[in-house]
């Protein structure tokens, strides 16, 4: 998997729990032994992905997952543009 291929691209993240939609330009991707840290220029520009999730995001430009918080389904959607 070529993690360098997303450097300089814009990643968008939708959090179904809070309804927030965030985006940032990727400046760094680093493997920490458990997964990948994806960072942007600002300190709040940070996401963590497991290997399978980042691989799918790089290959397809989109990754979705459903989690359960307090018994409620929550969707997270990640996309890459550029």
47-71 per-position pLDDT tens digit:
999 999 999 999 999 999 999 988 8
pLDDT over 90 at 82, yes or no = no
pLDDT of residue 42: 95
Q: Beginning with the edge strand found earlier in the chain, give each strand of the sheet holding 36-39 in spatial order.
A: 28-31, 36-39, 46-49
| pLDDT of amino acid 64 | 96
- Tell me what pLDDT residue 77 has: 96
This model's pTM is above 0.85: yes
Within 13 Å and on the Cβ side, how many CA atoms surround 20? Answer: 4
The per-residue pLDDT for range 4-32, each reduced to its tens digit, is: 999 999 999 999 888 899 999 999 999 99
Rounded CA separation 28/37 (Å): 8
């Amino acid at each position: 998997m070529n993690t360098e291929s997303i450097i300089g691209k814009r990643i968008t993240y939708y959090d179904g729990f809070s309804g927030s939609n965030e985006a940032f330009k990727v400046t760094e991707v680093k493997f920490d032994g458990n997964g990948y840290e994806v960072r942007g220029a600002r300190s709040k520009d940070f996401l963590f992905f497991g290997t399978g999730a980042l691989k799918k995001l790089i290959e397809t430009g989109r990754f979705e997952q459903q989690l359960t918080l307090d018994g409620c389904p929550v969707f997270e959607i990640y996309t890459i543009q550029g």
